[in-house]
Chains A and B, each alone.
Chain A
Amino acid sequence: MSLPPFKVLRPRSIDEAVGYLEKHVANIRVLAGGTDLIPSMRQRLFSPEYVLDLSGVAAMRGVRPQSDGGVEIGSLTTLRVIENSGFLRQHYPVLAEAAATVASPVLRNMGTIGGNICLDTRCLWYNQSLTWRKGCGFCIKKDGDLCHVAPGGTKCWAAFSGDTPPALLCLNTEIEIAGPSGVRRIPLQDFYTGLGDSYRKLQANELVTRVFLPASSADYRGVYRKLRVRGSIDYPLAGVAVVMRHSSNGHSIGHIADVRIGITAVNPAPLLVKGATDLLAGKEMNDLLAEAAGDLAAKTAKPLTTSALTPEYRSEMIRVFTKRAVLAAAGMN
């Protein structure tokens, strides 16, 4: 399948990029690593008049540790750089681990952290060619007004399928968004709407430019577990990120001082599991407690038939992975 016709704009700076977005706001798409946008354009999910190629904006790349102990990551930084960053592996291991599970090594050479945060939501009825979608009937997310997944419904249930956002949510990440009226900085948690179609709060003239991990989230133990059909290349069909810190207790590992659990690919947004901290903080990890955390996470997951595996299985795997991940984060397996 060929790509639809478009013109390519190649800015050298963030200001220039935002200028182009503002000028062509009605009909422009942003190209970072291309691994999400280009296959989608082949399927005519997007047929923009302009494509804004960010590859020349050097200022948007790089992992920059800050003097306060936190770190700032340019949104064009590739997932491969994040996976291999000694600083991130040491201080924010959950992010490095989640980045290392995305797609395949070659795709991680291309895909960016900003692209993973902005990743389009996915559904069996959406990520298909124009011919396929025309044959089976267009849906709410693109060109139609019905939902094949929840017949009779008016809400889109396409699943958010990025691996790094659940890890980033656990780390209390903030992102910087540049637009015509300047830059704003928001918690990543406020970026997602929970809807499958208009899944993110980003105007067509705005750009995610930087990702901030606060010092207060550094040095937590981290674990990411991912369900997929093949061992490589695939998007997650369920994913669980856990960060955990223990109170120091002499020589042995102490009580859990703080913990957060994030899940992905089972809802239209990546979500923090509410109540996880209350359930686990101040306690010593054991199998029963891990089971309870798994049950809590599985209640947060609301998968529908948006991918090749059944909702029941994906929900069950959120429970199983959460149990295993909290045990692993506590050093117990």
Chain B
Amino acid sequence: MKKELIELRVNGRLHELAVEPNAVLLDVLRQELQLTGSKRACDDSSCGACTVLLDGVAMMSCTMLAISCEGQEITTIEGVSEHGSLAAIQKAYGDWGGAQCGFCTPGFIMTVKSLLAENPDPSEADVRAALSSNLCRCTGYNQMYDAIRSAIKAEREGSAVTK
């Protein structure tokens, strides 16, 4: 299949890439850009392990064509840390046991980033509704909920997250 030349802006860097028209964004991120934080799991658009942000909005990178993403700002889990240190939400996931096996964690964190960008002070129902986009087979949702609450508190107080 003839490849097409496209430009993708990922985590603030512009990449010029030759991609096959049927390549999904997830495969381009993982195989062309070696950004392997976003995961392929269910392969049928239900688990959310591949979630990334497009212009700040959470979407499933396994269910979109890479060439449709030209001109949009793509953020992956690799672009979440701030100045080389963990973002509040990443640190809170560690502190509160929000990650068990860790496979679904990048997708969950992107979903939560999208929620907090839209609504910096979500209610319990808002957080739980947002988490319903992603599946965790270790059943760690309650720890994630605690981690998110803690990260929101830490962001508000501008202090380090402590348990």
Binding site for B on A (CB under 8 A): 1-8, 10, 31, 34-35, 38-39, 42, 51, 53, 55, 104-107, 109-110, 231-233
Asked if A110 and B63 make an inter-chain contact with CB atoms under 8 angstroms apart, the answer reads yes
Report how many residues on chain B are interfacial, defined by Cβ distance under 8 Å: 29
Asked if A110 and B59 make an inter-chain contact with CB atoms under 8 angstroms apart, the answer reads yes
- Closest Cβ of chain A to B158, distance in Å, is 28
Known: A105-B130, A233-B133. 13 other contacts (CB 8 A): A4-B22, A8-B68, A10-B68, A34-B65, A38-B64, A42-B43, A51-B21, A53-B65, A105-B111, A106-B59, A109-B57, A232-B133, A233-B46
Binding site for A on B (CB under 8 A): 1, 4, 20-22, 24, 43-46, 48, 51, 57-60, 63-65, 67-68, 111, 114, 129-130, 132-135
Q: Which residues of A contact B68 (CB under 8 A)?
A: 8, 10, 31, 34, 53, 55
Q: Which residues of B contact A7 (CB under 8 A)?
A: 21
Asked if A3 and B132 make an inter-chain contact with CB atoms under 8 angstroms apart, the answer reads no
Asked if B45 and A8 make an inter-chain contact with CB atoms under 8 angstroms apart, the answer reads no
Q: Which residue of chain A has its CB nearest to the CB of B60?
A: A106
Q: Which residues of A contact B130 (CB under 8 A)?
A: 105
Asked if A5 and B48 make an inter-chain contact with CB atoms under 8 angstroms apart, the answer reads no
Q: Which residues of A contact B24 (CB under 8 A)?
A: 3, 38
Given known pairs A5-B1, A42-B43, A233-B46, the reply for A107 and B132 (CB within 8 Å) is no
Which single member of B45, B132, B133 contacts A39 (CB below 8 Å)?
B45
Asked if A5 and B22 make an inter-chain contact with CB atoms under 8 angstroms apart, the answer reads yes
Q: Which residues of A contact B1 (CB under 8 A)?
A: 5
CA distance A106 to B118 in the complex (A): 13
Which single member of B4, B44, B58, B67 contacts A106 (CB below 8 Å)?
B58
Asked if B133 and A8 make an inter-chain contact with CB atoms under 8 angstroms apart, the answer reads no
Given known pairs A34-B63, A107-B45, the reply for A2 and B133 (CB within 8 Å) is no
What are 7 A-B pairs with beta-carbon distances under 8 A? A2-B22, A8-B68, A39-B63, A53-B67, A104-B133, A105-B111, A105-B129
CA distance A106 to B57 in the complex (A): 8
Q: Which residue of chain B has its CB nearest to the CB of A110?
A: B59
A/B pair count, beta carbons within 8 Å: 83
Q: Which residue of chain B has its CB nearest to the CB of A233?
A: B46
Q: Which residue of chain B has its CB nearest to the CB of A38?
A: B63
Given known pairs A31-B65, A53-B65, the reply for A42 and B44 (CB within 8 Å) is yes
Q: Which residues of A contact B65 (CB under 8 A)?
A: 8, 31, 34, 38, 51, 53
Q: Which residues of A contact B134 (CB under 8 A)?
A: 104, 106
Q: Which residues of B contact A105 (CB under 8 A)?
A: 58, 111, 129-130, 132-133
Asked if B21 and A35 make an inter-chain contact with CB atoms under 8 angstroms apart, the answer reads no
Q: Which residues of A contact B51 (CB under 8 A)?
A: 106
Given known pairs A34-B63, A39-B63, the reply for A233 and B43 (CB within 8 Å) is no
- Closest Cβ of chain A to B93, distance in Å, is 18
Which single member of A8, A39, A109, A110 contacts B44 (CB below 8 Å)?
A39
Asked if A6 and B48 make an inter-chain contact with CB atoms under 8 angstroms apart, the answer reads no
Asked if A1 and B132 make an inter-chain contact with CB atoms under 8 angstroms apart, the answer reads no
Given known pairs A34-B65, A53-B65, A233-B132, the reply for A6 and B60 (CB within 8 Å) is no
Asked if B48 and A106 make an inter-chain contact with CB atoms under 8 angstroms apart, the answer reads yes
CA distance A264 to B64 in the complex (A): 27
Q: Which residues of B contact A38 (CB under 8 A)?
A: 24, 45, 63-65
Given known pairs A35-B63, A109-B58, the reply for A8 and B48 (CB within 8 Å) is no
Which single member of B21, B43, B64, B129 contacts A1 (CB below 8 Å)?
B43
Asked if A6 and B21 make an inter-chain contact with CB atoms under 8 angstroms apart, the answer reads yes
- Closest Cβ of chain A to B136, distance in Å, is 12
Nearest 3 A-B pairs (CB), nearest first?
A232-B132, A106-B133, A104-B133
Q: Which residues of A contact B64 (CB under 8 A)?
A: 34, 38, 110
Q: Which residues of A contact B20 (CB under 8 A)?
A: 5
- Closest Cβ of chain B to A323, distance in Å, is 26
Q: Which residues of B contact A110 (CB under 8 A)?
A: 59-60, 63-64
Q: Which residue of chain B has its CB nearest to the CB of A100?
A: B129
Given known pairs A106-B48, A106-B51, A231-B132, the reply for A8 and B67 (CB within 8 Å) is yes
Q: Which residues of A contact B22 (CB under 8 A)?
A: 2-6, 8
Q: Which residues of B contact A51 (CB under 8 A)?
A: 21, 65
